[in-house]
Amino acid sequence: YGVVLDAGSSHTSLFVYQWPADKENDTGVVTQVAHIDVEGGGISSYKDHPEMAGQSLVPSLFNATKLVPPERHHETPISVGATAGMRLLRKQNPEAAERVMESVKTALRATPFLFCSARILTGQEEGAFGWVTINYLQGNFLQRDWLSWVRPRGAKTVGALDLGGASTQIAFVPAGGALSGTQRFRLYGYDHAVFTHSYLCYGKDEALMRVAATLSRGNSSSDVEVTFPCYHSGFEERLEVGYMFGKPCTAALKPAVGPRGGGGGAGSGPLQGRVLLRGSGQADQCAEAVAQIFNYSSCAGRKDCTFDGVYQPPVSGSFMAFSAFYYVMDFLKLRGEGNVDYIRNVVKRFCNKPWNEVRASSQTEQKHLKSYCFSANYLLQLLFHGYKFNLSTWMNIKFVKKVEGIQAIGEAGWALGYMLNETNLIPVELAPRAIPEAAFGSTLALLSLLLAALLLAALAYTCASCARWAPASRA
């Protein structure tokens, strides 16, 4: 057994995994036992009260102990991987990030499980482990034959697209190889080289805040009202200026002149006042606003460059898109749709709906419902103009929450890939000691003699019974 906690920017998920004691070429054949959503926000949200980060995990950790046999608790590794939310907190406040992680470690060490690690994953690790997960579940590494597990002949891997709250990741095996950005794995006795890149501040939540900050930065009055085309008409949201521009992803957008007389340029003292985002529900204007946060000119037209000057080989092969990619397309009922014009029309019609109509027709929580118009426009901008999918390669993207593959059924995400990689480091459980060959021969001979003796005794008893009843038969 193994337990992995995915500590994301907006929430934490706990996964319990299981695999046979015998491994295949040093890697476990892992199955998911359970998925538990931890109550509350992501652990980075406890930066002002770090002790609560660990406490927030306790109920879910207790539930996990009931899913693993008690006699296995002491040998069940447990790990936490924190992702982009904590990467941003470490960038903004390293001491707070360290206190949060120490609180998490304390909570894990208090469990009966075998504490393994609690650390902040790199973006490249997050992307690569997501790639491992979907390809494992698809059966691209290993499949069950009649007698054993075998590597499938001619199996092709699929790429992974992950969209979180604070970052987005892409991972795939390029058709012509990669010049840089390669992550290497050894799984089931075979080596894999995967191109992967993570874009911090390009998760959907941070991207929304960057778009709002971009539209607000030209104002210097104490209370700013901004028309926000990515929110539905009739919806309003008020944000503190200090909160909007005090985040690592928006700090560079800080107004040169602060509200209420806060002079100086970007990086000057704390800003005061509030920003009122007033929704107008205009999909075309929303798409234009979203495009402003991508620096495409830095690529100077190069085909092996996405945005912000980042190298990426051209996308090739099939892809699975999960996390927020899935939730947005699922909400709009577009997961299986390949006609891009139809998708854009659906997004436009949805954005044009007034807020009271949207709220009345959905049971989705307001904190998610308010931003689907933005997220849909952002998703299309990121995939088509950022990652450079086109009308043809778009057809190779499948939006998934779970992967129902040849190998198994499991959640798409990095946690299973992390667990698979960890099983390479976990010793194989000792099998019962085999009987030595000489002893086996002696045992077999003794059993043969006993069987012969039993047969002779049975035969003698049968003959005696026949002799006893013979006179009575003649009478």
Residue 475's pLDDT is: 34
Q: Is residue 135 part of a domain?
A: yes
Amino acid making up residue 4: V
Among 67-76, 154-163, 263-272, 418-427, whose mean pLDDT is lowest? 263-272
Residues 336 and 402 in one domain: yes
Residue 213 known to bind ligand = no
Most confident of 18-27, 143-152, 381-390: 381-390
Residue 138 known to bind ligand = no
pLDDT 10s digits, 259-291: 444 444 444 556 778 999 999 999 999 999 999
Residues 201 and 324 in one domain: yes
Asked whether 270 and 240 are in contact (CB, 8 A), the reply is no
How much is the average pLDDT of 164-187?
Answer: 91
Q: Which two tokens stand for residue 77?
A: 């590794």
Residue 165 known to bind ligand = yes
> Can you tell me the distance from the alpha carbon of 92 to that of 86, in angstroms, rounded to the nearest whole number?
10
Structural element, H or E, at residue 36: strand 31-37
Is pLDDT at 324 greater than 80 in this prediction?
Answer: yes
Residue 272 known to bind ligand = no
210 phi, psi to nearest 5 deg: -70, -40
CA atoms within 13 A on the CB side of 435: 8
> Can you tell me the distance from the alpha carbon of 98 to that of 414, in angstroms, rounded to the nearest whole number?
23
85 against 140, higher pLDDT: 85
Asked whether 255 and 214 are in contact (CB, 8 A), the reply is no
Q: What value, to the nearest 5°, has the Cα angle with vertex 435 and ends 431 and 441? A: 155
Residues 289 and 199 in one domain: yes
Residues 250 and 382 in one domain: yes
Most distant pair of Cα atoms in the chain: their distance: 131
> Can you tell me the distance from the alpha carbon of 96 to that of 418, in angstroms, rounded to the nearest whole number?
26
Residue 430: CB atoms within 10 A of its CB come to 7
Q: Which domain holds residue 82?
A: 2-143+182-192+407-424
Residue 430's pLDDT is: 38
What are the strands, taking DSSP E only, across 357-441?
397-399, 402-404, 409-411
Q: Which residue has the tokens 């107008």?
A: 280
Residue 368: CB atoms within 10 A of its CB come to 15
Residue 121 sits in a domain whose CATH number is 3.30.420.40
Asked whether 128 and 90 are in contact (CB, 8 A), the reply is no
Is pLDDT at 435 greater than 60 in this prediction?
Answer: no
Residue 54 known to bind ligand = no
Residues 74 and 130 in one domain: yes
- For the chain, the domain total comes to 2
Asked whether 149 and 284 are in contact (CB, 8 A), the reply is no
Residues 119 and 175 in one domain: no
Is pLDDT at 445 greater than 70 in this prediction?
Answer: no
Cβ-based burial of 329 (10 A; exposed 0-12, middle 13-18, buried ≥19): buried
Residue 399 sits in a domain whose CATH number is 3.30.420.150
Q: Are strands 397-399 and 77-82 parallel, antiparallel or unpaired?
A: unpaired
Active site residues: 126
Residues 155 and 88 in one domain: no
CA atoms within 13 A on the CB side of 421: 21
Residues 398 and 371 in one domain: yes
Nearest to 373, CA basis, from 195, 209, 208: 208
Residues 299 and 371 in one domain: yes
> Can you tell me the distance from the alpha carbon of 304 to that of 321, in angstroms, rounded to the nearest whole number?
21
Residues 150 and 112 in one domain: no
Q: Is residue 259 part of a domain?
A: no
26 against 22, higher pLDDT: 22
> Can you tell me the distance from the alpha carbon of 196 to that of 193, in angstroms, rounded to the nearest whole number?
10
